[in-house]
């Protein structure tokens, strides 16, 4: 019954629209306005361009200002300050161009709308103008390229020697984290060694792997360089830490990396945002399947002293699961046993 | 030379006389007439646009109203709506994938280039038909077949391809990774292969026709900008589509024959795969070698159409005709050397990133020149706002808005944050999606009288334009904010993340705007099909335009001109020429006939022109005598 009523309503609306359409067609035929080059609608359209310009202009400025704190995420890394500055410089330049071109684009239709009394001016070319507006954008873009390139080469330069290494591995649909342990060297891995208990595929015959340890959250120290070594186990993923202005694909078969210096601890950020629950998050930004939207990992930025303390307290893979050490060659096993006895 | 060309015309003329032998099948289905093929492309493109738009409405419902009970869609989507009435997350990915594939390839490549290159190239250069009518027909039917296969894939139990329209392996190579990578992906690859074959055949035809079949006097420097755009588009397609074919072929090998071009070190579904040594990044390089030029494949024809429409309705020559051509050429060349800007954070060598950033920002220069030239064309014009003109102005607006955000994304350091967020979605939907779509619609409104001999209703056109224009901005402009805030693309929902768990209201707004904009397209559909049969009869040259297509009869037969193909004596933009009585002088009017409006250098050409005309007349007379 309900559906029937809706159907009738829709039909009614359509027939009214239809009638209006027919009537306006007939009226325009009677008035002969369909024979004119430009009917009265020409003026209406010209005015609507101005209305559009003013209306959307106001909307844009109002919303951009009102929501600024909302869409501008606080920055929590050193290079983030640089890239954000580039972003806003580019925004200023393109913003000016955007406004000027649009004001012209919508004012011209109003100003030069059709009139039988006027003739358009025959103005086919002007080489001087062309050269100017080829060279000026060229120079401006060159400036952007150079500043962008300098930032880019700093960000992608090799990580400092003393960087704290964290390995992040993506898989469907989560991230796993591995720290190199006391020796500060990550052990080898091989995807063929992956089992239910060894989800990273760590090769424990490599002595460097013995003290590697996992962590449910990414803990990193504030103010010191951190190097993310990124890999994937199954399909492409991408590590995205929005507050760190950090993004790098995780590629199966090709390890990638990204280093940065966090500048605010989680606690400081909680204060800054006024949100006592604030946490740094990692999301996945490369489509990877059904759970793409749910690959979350928390980053906890702490003071360096707290970091050292936390780091020393962690239990290695082998300490957590001694069976991983079973079947290792004797010399490696020795190292593993020493470590086990240390706990 | 002139003898040969006249003789040629004669032969073609005879062919034109035989067109009454067409039966229904050869006229409407397996037609070799470029005009009918163009209409076939147009109607097929409209079907796909509706479908692609509808898919986007489905996923916009999910994004704008995540709590909504979608059980009412169950009759259509069946099991893809789960027991609780929610959209299946896997199917969500299938929706965005198919939306992208359909819109980029079937609507904006085939629907736009296929329609207008086919329709306008012979008509505007003065040719009887395409160089090879048969190949042209084959091109359409391969496209049709490709569409049928893609359409079937929508109904598979495991769903269509779901790895995003870029179908990056390993996701697209492994069925274990996502069900859509099974049969759905196989059909995607088959469909795309046919599509590539189709667009190559089309492209070869466009290029050959433009180079070889121009009428007498139609030098490259007298070609309308539409033709320049279609010509260069075809060149881009011809050089880049084969690379996509190679990428797809290697993917087929990886999927079905156990090779490791793109696969390496994969542990999935509880087992380690034997593949080693492949590189997923290789696929990305190959894909974007087409993928980026593809942007210009969809955009250039729209820019060409806009140049023509804006000049005609401004009653002014297009400003900087030569600069426009040089810009088109610049874009064409540069479009091949910017592809890796899609891959700044893919893990490729950062040094490559620097190079591609540099090249990418160069391409902004010719684009800027085009915009300034459009603006100057409007300046001091005498503007008539036909629906086509409105859509062209809309296109310029989108081209500016979307083009400027490209400068952010092209700068690798800024791209780190913006890559694969809604900022990118906003950017390419404006500059490539909406701009090209507006170009296509402008083309339909403008050339409808030539296609069907009737006029579309202008008032409905205005309503269509204003709802769509405002609607498109309401859909895509807010996405910039969402993107700056870091919302990633292709997310089924954002509630898992605190940094993205805001803007539910804005997403709702976007969804409503998208639905309204989609609904407004039915005004256009109605206008299109109603006017086809009941529209007012068109006059021969309703927009008082200069180009050759308006010299044909109202319903041109196969062969386009009943008699001789007219010769061309001037460029196509002699609007409002000082001294001339009318505000337009068609290309077929000799300079010698308009001494009052000739510019000094044109006056000098008059003598040459008269000599040629005399010579031509002698040939004609001798031909007559032979008969």
pLDDT tens track for B582-608: 889 999 999 988 888 888 888 888 888
Least confident segment among A103-107, A143-147, B7-11, B375-379: B7-11
Element housing A283 (H / E): strand A280-284
Q: State yes or no: pLDDT of A103 exceeds 80.
A: yes
* pLDDT over threshold 80, residue B17: no
Same domain, A284 and A236: yes
For the sheet with A246-250, list strands across it. A218-221, A297-302, A280-284, A237-241, A246-250
The Cα–Cα gap between A140 and B17 comes to 59
B515-527 per-position pLDDT tens digit: 999 999 999 999 9
Q: Is the CB of residue A244 less than 8 Å from the CB of residue B274?
A: no
Please indicate whether, in this complex, the C-beta atoms of B345 and A287 are within 8 angstroms of each other: no
The gap between the terminal CA atoms of chain A, to the nearest Å, is 74
Please tell me the distance in Å from A5's CA to the nearest CA on chain B: 17
**Residues A195 and A325 occupy one common structural domain:** yes
* Mutation choice for B interface testing from A64, A78, A249, A259 by most B CBs within 10 A: A249
Quote the pLDDT of residue B21.
Answer: 65
- A-proximal residues of B, 387-416, CB under 8 Å: 390, 393, 396-397, 400-401, 404-405, 407-408, 411-414, 416
B residues 19..78 contacting A (CB < 8 A): none
Contacts of B617 (CB under 8 A, 6+ apart): none
Percent share of chain B, pLDDT over 70 = 96
Q: How far apart are CA B294 and CA B300, in angstroms?
A: 10
Q: Which residue has the tokens 């906003």?
A: B426
Tokens found for residue B479: 């996405």
The SS3 call for residue A7 is helix
- Inside any domain, residue A10: no
φ/ψ bin of B267: left (φ > 0), alpha (ψ from -120 to 50), beta (otherwise): beta
Interface of A with B in 47-76 (CB under 8 A): 48-49, 52, 56, 60, 63-64, 67, 70-73
Chain A CB contacts of B536 under 8 Å are: 34
A11 pLDDT tier (thresholds 50, 70, 90): confident
Q: For B187-204, write each residue's pLDDT tens digit.
A: 999 999 999 999 999 999
Per residue in A144-196, pLDDT (tens digit) is 999 999 999 999 999 999 999 999 999 999 999 999 999 889 999 999 999 98
- Side-chain-side CA neighbours of A190 within 13 Å: the count stands at 9
Nearest CA in chain B to A278: B498
Whether B555 shows a pLDDT value over 90: the answer reads: yes
Q: Is position A135 within any domain?
A: yes
The first and second tokens of residue A16, run together, are: 């009214």
> Band of the pLDDT at B18, cuts 50, 70, 90?
very low
CB contact under 8 A, A113 and B383: yes
Give the whole-angstrom CA distance, residue B565 versus residue B215: 7
User: Is the domain of A214 the same as that of A132?
Assistant: no
Same domain, A197 and A266: yes
Stronger pLDDT, A101 or A325, i.e. the higher one: A101
Percent of chain B surpassing pLDDT 90: 81
Q: How many domains does chain A have?
A: 2
> A171 and A134, same structural domain?
no
Whether A49 is in a domain gets the answer yes
Segment 328-357 of chain B within 8 Å of chain A by CB: 345-347, 350, 353-354, 357
A73 — pLDDT class (breaks 50, 70, 90): very high
d(CA A162, CA A183): 13
Residue A316 and residue A266 share a domain: yes
The Cα B14–Cα B12 span in angstroms is: 5
Give the chain A residue nearest B469 (alpha carbons): A52
Examine the domain organization and report whether A58 and A181 are in the same domain: no
In a shared domain, residues A181 and A289: yes
Q: Which range among A16-25, A87-96, B207-216, B296-305 shows the weakest confidence by mean pLDDT?
A: A16-25
Q: Write the DSSP symbol of residue B532.
A: H
DSSP for B215-264 reads PTT--GGGS-HHHHHHHHHHHHHHHHHHHHHHHHHHHHHHHHS---SS--
Assess if residue A63 is contained within a domain: yes
Helix ranges, B453-503 (H): 458-484
Of B432, B350, B444, B421, which Cα lies nearest the Cα of B398?
B432
Contacts A35 to B, Cβ<8 Å: none
What is chain B's mean pLDDT, rounded?
Answer: 91
C-alpha triplet A132, A134, A136: angle, nearest 5°: 65
Task: Count Cα atoms within 13 angstroms, Cβ side, for B371.
Answer: 28
The model's pLDDT over B233-259, given as tens digits with 9 standing for 90+, comes to 999 999 999 999 999 999 999 999 999
Between chains, do A112 and B380 touch, taking CB under 8 Å as contact? yes
Pair A298, A200 in one domain? yes
Do A216 and A324 sit in the same domain of this protein? yes
Contacts of A28 in chain B (CB under 8 A): 459
* Assigned domain for A223 exists: yes
Selection from A74, A77, A73 nearest residue A227 by Cα: A77
pLDDT for position A9? 86
d(CA B119, CA B43): 13
**What pLDDT was estimated at residue A300?**
96
Q: Which domain holds residue A62?
A: 39-112+127-157
CA distance B78 to B91: 11
What is the structure's pLDDT at A17?
Answer: 80
- Asked if the C-beta of A273 comes within 8 angstroms of chain B's C-beta atoms, the answer is no
Rounded to the nearest angstrom, the minimum Cα separation between A334 and chain B is 30
User: Which of 141-170 (A) contact B at CB < 8 A?
Assistant: 141, 144-145, 148-149, 151-153, 155-156
Cβ atoms of B109 and B115 within 8 Å: the answer is: no
> Of chain A residues 97-126, which have a CB less than 8 A from chain B?
97-98, 101-102, 104-106, 108-109, 112-115, 118-126
Do A203 and A325 have their domain in common?
yes
Q: Does A137 touch chain B (CB under 8 A)?
A: yes
Q: Which residues, in sequence order, are CB contacts of A12 under 8 Å at separation 6+?
A: none
Cβ separation B371–A101 shorter than 8 A: yes
Q: How many helices (H) and strands (E) does chain B have?
A: 20, 2
* Distance between CA atoms of residues B249 and B252, nearest Å: 5
Is B213 near chain A, with CB under 8 Å? no
Report which of residues A18 and B318 the model is more confident about. Answer: B318
Do residues B606 and B345 lie in contact, with contact meaning Cβ atoms separated by under 8 Å? no
The residue of chain A nearest to residue B579, with distances taken between CA atoms, is A122
Q: What is the pLDDT of residues B78-130, one digit of tens each?
A: 889 998 889 999 999 999 999 999 999 999 999 999 999 999 999 999 999 99
Q: How far is B339 from chain A (nearest CA, A)?
A: 17
Same domain, A136 and A191: no
């Amino acid at each position: 019954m309900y559906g029937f009523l809706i159907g009738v309503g829709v039909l009614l609306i359509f027939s009214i629209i239809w009638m209006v359409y027919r009537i306006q067609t007939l009226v325009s035929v009677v008035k002969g306005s369909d024979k004119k080059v430009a009917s009265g609608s020409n003026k209406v359209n010209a005015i609507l361009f101005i209305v559009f310009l003013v209306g959307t202009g106001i909307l844009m400025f109002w919303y951009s200002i009102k929501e600024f704190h909302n869409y501008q995420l606080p920055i929590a890394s050193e290079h983030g300050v640089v890239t954000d500055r580039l972003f806003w410089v580019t925004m200023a330049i393109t913003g000016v161009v955007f406004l000027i071109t649009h004001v012209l684009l919508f004012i011209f239709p109003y100003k030069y709308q059709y009139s039988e009394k006027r003739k358009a001016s025959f103005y086919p070319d002007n080489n001087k103008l062309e050269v100017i507006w080829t060279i000026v954008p060229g120079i401006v873009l060159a400036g952007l390229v150079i500043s962008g390139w300098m930032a880019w080469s700093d960000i992608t330069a090799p990580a400092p020697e003393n960087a704290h290494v964290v390995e992040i591995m993506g898989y469907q649909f989560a991230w796993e984290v591995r720290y190199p342990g006391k020796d500060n060297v990550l052990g080898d891995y091989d995807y063929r060694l992956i089992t239910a208990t060894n989800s990273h595929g760590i090769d424990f015959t490599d002595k460097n792997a013995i003290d590697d340890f996992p962590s449910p959250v990414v803990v990193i120290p504030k103010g010191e360089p951190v190097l993310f070594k990124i890999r994937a186990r199954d399909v492409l993923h991408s590590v995205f830490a929005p507050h760190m202005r950090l993004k790098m694909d995780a590629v199966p078969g090709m390890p990638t990396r990204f280093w940065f210096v966090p500048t605010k601890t989680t606690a400081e950020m909680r204060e800054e945002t006024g949100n006592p629950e604030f946490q740094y998050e990692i999301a996945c930004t490369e489509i990877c399947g059904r759970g793409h939207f749910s690959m979350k990992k928390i980053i906890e930025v702490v003071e360096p002293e707290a970091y050292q303390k936390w780091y020393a307290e962690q239990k290695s893979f082998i300490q957590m699961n001694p069976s991983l050490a079973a079947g290792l060659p004797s010399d490696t096993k020795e190292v593993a046993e020493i470590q086990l006895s240390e706990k | 030379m002139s003898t040969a060309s006249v003789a040629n015309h004669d032969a073609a003329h005879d062919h034109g006389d035989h067109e009454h032998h067409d039966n229904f099948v050869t006229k409407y289905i397996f037609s070799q007439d470029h005009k009918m093929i163009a209409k076939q492309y147009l109607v097929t493109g409209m079907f796909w646009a509706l479908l692609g738009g509808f898919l986007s409405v489905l996923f916009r419902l999910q994004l704008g109203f995540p709590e909504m009970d979608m059980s009412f869609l169950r009759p259509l989507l069946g099991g893809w709506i789960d027991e609780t009435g929610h959209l299946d997350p896997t199917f969500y990915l299938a929706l965005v994938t198919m939306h992208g594939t359909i819109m980029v390839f079937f609507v904006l490549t085939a629907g736009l280039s296929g329609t207008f290159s086919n329709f306008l190239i012979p008509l505007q250069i003065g040719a009887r038909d395409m160089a090879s009518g048969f190949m042209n027909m084959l091109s359409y039917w391969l496209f049709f077949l490709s569409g049928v296969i893609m359409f079937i894939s929508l109904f598979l139990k495991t769903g269509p391809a779901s790895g995003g329209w870029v179908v990056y392996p390993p996701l697209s190579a492994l069925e274990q990774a996502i069900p859509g990578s099974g049969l759905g992906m196989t059909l995607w690859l088959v469909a795309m292969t046919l599509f590539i074959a189709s667009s190559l055949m089309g492209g070869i035809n466009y290029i050959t026709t433009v180079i070889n079949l121009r009428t007498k006097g139609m030098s490259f420097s007298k070609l309308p900008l539409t033709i320049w755009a279609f010509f260069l588009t075809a060149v881009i397609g011809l050089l880049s589509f084969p690379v996509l074919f190679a990428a797809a072929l290697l993917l087929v090998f990886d999927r079905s024959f156990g090779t490791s071009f793109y696969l390496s070190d994969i542990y999935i579904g509880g087992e380690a795969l034997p593949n080693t040594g492949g590189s997923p990044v290789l696929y990305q390089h190959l894909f974007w070698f087409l993928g980026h030029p593809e942007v210009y494949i969809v955009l250039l024809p729209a820019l060409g159409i806009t140049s023509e429409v804006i000049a005609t309705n401004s009653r002014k020559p297009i400003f900087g005709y030569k600069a426009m051509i040089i810009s088109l050429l610049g874009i064409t060349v540069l479009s091949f050397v910017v592809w890796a800007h899609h891959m700044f954070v893919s893990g490729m060598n950062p040094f490559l990133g620097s190079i591609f950033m540099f090249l990418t920002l160069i391409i902004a220069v010719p684009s800027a020149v085009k915009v300034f030239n459009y603006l100057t064309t409007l300046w001091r014009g005498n503007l008539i706002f036909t629906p086509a003109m409105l859509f062209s102005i809309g296109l310029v607006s989108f081209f500016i808005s979307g083009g400027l955000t490209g400068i952010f994304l092209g700068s690798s350091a800024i791209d780190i944050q913006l890559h694969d967020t809604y900022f990118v979605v906003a950017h390419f939907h404006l500059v490539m999606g909406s701009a090209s779509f507006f170009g296509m619609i402008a083309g339909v409104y403008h050339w409808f009288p030539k296609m069907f001999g009737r006029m579309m209703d202008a008032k409905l056109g205005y309503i269509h334009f204003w709802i769509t224009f405002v609607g498109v901005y309401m859909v895509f402009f807010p996405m910039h904010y969402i993107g700056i805030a870091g919302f990633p693309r292709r997310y089924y929902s954002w509630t898992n993340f605190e940094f993205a768990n805001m803007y539910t209201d804005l997403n709702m707004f976007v969804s409503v705007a998208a639905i309204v904009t989609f609904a407004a397209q039915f005004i256009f559909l109605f206008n299109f099909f109603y006017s086809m049969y009941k529209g007012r009869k068109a006059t021969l040259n309703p927009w008082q335009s200069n180009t050759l297509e308006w010299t044909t009869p109202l319903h041109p037969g196969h062969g386009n001109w009943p008699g001789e193909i007219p010769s061309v004596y001037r460029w196509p933009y002699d609007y409002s020429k000082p001294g001339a009585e009318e505000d337009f002088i068609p290309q077929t009017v000799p300079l010698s006939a308009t001494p009052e409006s000739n510019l000094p250098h044109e006056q000098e050409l008059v003598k040459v022109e008269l000599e040629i005309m005399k010579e031509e007349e002698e040939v004609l007379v001798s031909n007559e005598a032979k008969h």
